[in-house]
Structures are given as structure tokens and as C-alpha cells.
Amino acid sequence: MTMQSYKLTYFNMRGRAELSRYIFAYAGIAFEDRRVEWKDWPLIKKTFPLGKLPVLEVNGVPLIQSLAIARFLAKEAGLVGNSKLAEAQADALVDTLNDFTLLIPWREDNPQIKTQKIDMLFQSHAPKLLDHLQCHLGDREWLVGDSCAETGLC
């Protein structure tokens, strides 16, 4: 069996690559964490697929789009559940959380306005999201499946 080689490239921040970094850490998968500084981005942007980050290279083959990368890594780490339905339920939760992250004013240049918008987001939308997730969980222990064995998280 050949060992996979992983190189994750993203800006020197958490952002869109952080979920993949968490998966690597949780699963104990070794990877190269290449951080790009904002000042260097204009010079190297053209060298990346679609001129965007993050990019995960798997044995030198690039994979783009943060959620596609995270889903790939979750499958590699055995974190997607043991049925097609459990996998789709996990995908639905990821998409729900992504809806929230899309509300973050990533492109706001004014730091004061950005801080105000983020504060408002976490004061108004975050509690609603957490309430919905709590309601979805109900009296169960897992958001997907009924045990760690069923979800692949054991």
C-alpha cells in the first residue's frame, strides 16, 4: 500500500482551510501545511488552479475548493459514516455550517465595520444556528447515526 503525500496550501490564517487542518489533526494524518502571506499572493496567484486557495495536493495532484477538500479528507480518515445516508446527513450538516460561514464579512476592508458585522453575526445568527443544531440532536448523542461506530468516529 502506497503512502499518500498531502500538501495543503492556504493563507497564513484559519479561514477556509481550517476544517481540513482539523481533520488532519484529528485523524493523525501527516501533511505539509504551506502558509501563504498576503503580500506574496499577487505574485503566485496565477500558479494555482482558478487563482484561488485553498489547494490540497495529493501525491502532487491538486484538489480545489475547501469543502471538496474537507469531504475528501473526511473519507480518507473514515469520518463520513458507514452508509450513504449517514454520509449525506454529514454533508447536510457541513453545508449548514458553511451557510453560516458565508455570512462572515471576509472581504470587508474597514476593520471597524468588519468587527461590528462579525459581532452582530455571532450575537444574532450563531445562537439561532446552535438552537437548530440542538433541536436536530434532540435527546440523541450524535448528530448523525446512533453511535460512534455508525458514524466512523471511533
Q: Which residues form the catalytic set? A: 10, 16, 106
Alpha carbon distance 94, 68 (integer Å): 11
Write out the three cell numbers for 133. Answer: 443544531
**What is the three-class DSSP state of 154?**
coil
Q: Tally Cβ neighbours within 10 Å of residue 74.
A: 22
Residue bearing cell 448523542: 141
Cis link prior to 54 (omega < 30° from 0)?
A: yes
For residue 11, report the phi and psi dihedrals to the nearest 5 degrees. -65, 160
